[in-house]
């Protein structure tokens, strides 16, 4: 009987401590846009159990045209956001202390495309034309480019007219704009499907022109970095996310299907998501989530030159998270 009681007590003790031992750290990730293969690494990491293996309980929130990640995290709705650095640094200067903790996207996927019938074959042909641009933080690379060219963007003589563009290629098809903004991994694919391509388009690639600003970095609120437990969770999140990115890039068909299955709206189409994985693979370095300082400096300079920010940002990034994640 004594042995039986001892065994029962030991079992009860195990049951009592088991929930605490098994408890995973909860993190919420806010995406910059809707569920699509632009975020395949995170979606795959969750589906394949990489976050669970890292003792993380990760919730992934889709974005959309009416969702600003900076506002979501400022309001406590997310722990980590995916954001373009222009929007993040501008938000920091306005009082939302965002800090870049990792930068899986090394290159920009942003381009501007112009049908050949517009007569635009070089930057010198822009004056007098209407150019489509996304806003909500996506406009900063464009305005930095126009500033570099010395072109006014108010429609005045010798400058360009800016159309606040929808997130598709319709402004080009309907003739509302002479040129439109596209991402290599998204809207450019729509243009290809519509019969456009290098033969009937003039393509301005921001990266090829040296006008690329950092996109799709991971950002957190600065005060959370003073909490060792939170820092540890961020490190595990980045390490697991990069496993997700590596798996997605190595297995594009499976990754595309995982994205489709994860899209609760049913809008994601398999063929387009597969195209997207292929294009995103040209921008992401799955082996190196660290921030490239050369591109960071160029991004900040462009923001300063355009007066998108007034002051050189201080504390806008940290290498602590990626240094630890890469050593795991």
287 domain residue, yes or no: yes
Taking only the tens place, the pLDDT of each residue in 217-242 is: 999 999 999 999 999 999 999 999 99
Same domain flag for 224 and 322: yes
1 domain residue, yes or no: no
Same domain flag for 128 and 142: yes
pLDDT at 87 over 90: yes
Q: Which of 63-67, 266-270, 305-309 has the highest mean pLDDT?
A: 266-270
Give the chain's domain count.
Answer: 2
Mean pLDDT of the chain: 92
Nearest to 162 by CA among 204, 147, 173: 147
pLDDT of residue 136: 82
Of 165, 185, 205, the residue at which a domain comes to its end is 205
pLDDT at 61 over 60: yes
Q: What is the rounded CA–CA span in Å between residue 264 and residue 144?
A: 36
Same domain flag for 120 and 239: no
Distant-in-sequence contacts of 248-253, Cβ < 8 A, 24+ apart: 248/37, 248/40, 248/41, 248/44, 248/277, 249/277, 249/280, 249/281, 249/284, 249/286, 252/277, 252/278, 252/281
pLDDT of residue 8: 44
Of 178, 205, 232, the residue at which a domain comes to its end is 205
Average pLDDT over residues 206-225: 95
4 domain residue, yes or no: no
Of 180, 205, 230, the residue at which a domain comes to its end is 205
pLDDT of residue 14: 46
With the C-alpha atoms ordered 233, 239, 244, 245, is the resulting torsion angle positive or negative?
Answer: positive
Q: What is the rounded CA–CA span in Å between residue 202 and residue 215?
A: 23
22 falls in which pLDDT band (50, 70, 90)?
A: low
pLDDT at 205 over 70: yes
* Portion of the chain with pLDDT greater than 70, in percent: 93
Least confident stretch, 105-114, 220-229, 297-306: 297-306
2 falls in which pLDDT band (50, 70, 90)?
A: very low
Nearest to 96 by CA among 114, 112, 111, 81: 81
pLDDT at 16 over 80: no
Domain membership of residue 155 as a residue range:
110-205
65 falls in which pLDDT band (50, 70, 90)?
A: confident
pLDDT at 4 over 50: no
Q: What is the rounded CA–CA span in Å between residue 47 and residue 240?
A: 12
Average pLDDT over residues 291-299: 94
Same domain flag for 245 and 320: yes
Average pLDDT over residues 163-186: 95
pLDDT of residue 103: 98
Same domain flag for 218 and 273: yes
């Amino acid at each position: 009987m004594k042995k039986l009681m001892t065994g029962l007590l030991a079992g009860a003790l195990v049951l009592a401590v088991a929930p605490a031992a098994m408890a995973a750290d909860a993190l919420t990730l806010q995406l910059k846009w809707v569920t699509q293969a632009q975020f395949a690494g995170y979606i795959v990491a969750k589906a394949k159990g990489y976050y669970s293996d890292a003792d993380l309980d990760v919730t992934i929130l889709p974005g959309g045209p009416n969702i600003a990640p900076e506002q979501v995290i400022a309001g406590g709705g997310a722990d980590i956001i995916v954001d373009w650095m222009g929007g993040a640094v501008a938000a920091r200067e306005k009082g939302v202390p965002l800090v870049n903790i990792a930068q899986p996207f090394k290159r920009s996927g942003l381009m501007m495309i112009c049908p050949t019938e517009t007569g635009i074959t070089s930057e010198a042909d822009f004056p007098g034309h209407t150019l489509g641009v996304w806003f909500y933080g996506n406009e900063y690379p464009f305005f930095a480019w126009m500033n570099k060219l010395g072109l006014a963007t108010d429609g005045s003589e010798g400058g360009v007219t800016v159309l606040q563009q929808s997130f598709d290629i319709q402004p080009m098809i309907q003739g509302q704009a002479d040129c439109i903004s596209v991402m290599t991994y998204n809207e450019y694919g729509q243009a290809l499907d519509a019969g456009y391509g290098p033969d009937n388009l003039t393509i301005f690639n921001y990266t090829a022109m040296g006008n690329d600003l950092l996109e799709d970095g991971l950002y957190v609120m600065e005060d959370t970095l003073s909490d060792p437990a939170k820092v540890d969770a961020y490190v595990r999140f980045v390490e697991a996310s990069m496993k997700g990115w590596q798996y997605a890039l190595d297995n594009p068909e499976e990754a595309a299907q995982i994205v489709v299955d994860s899209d609760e709206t049913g809008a994601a189409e398999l063929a387009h998501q597969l195209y997207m994985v292929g294009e995103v693979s040209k921008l992401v370095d799955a082996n190196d989530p660290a921030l490239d300082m050369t591109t960071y400096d160029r991004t900040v300079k462009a923001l300063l030159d355009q007066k998108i920010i007034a002051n050189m940002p201080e504390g806008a990034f940290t290498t602590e998270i990626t240094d630890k994640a890469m050593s795991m």
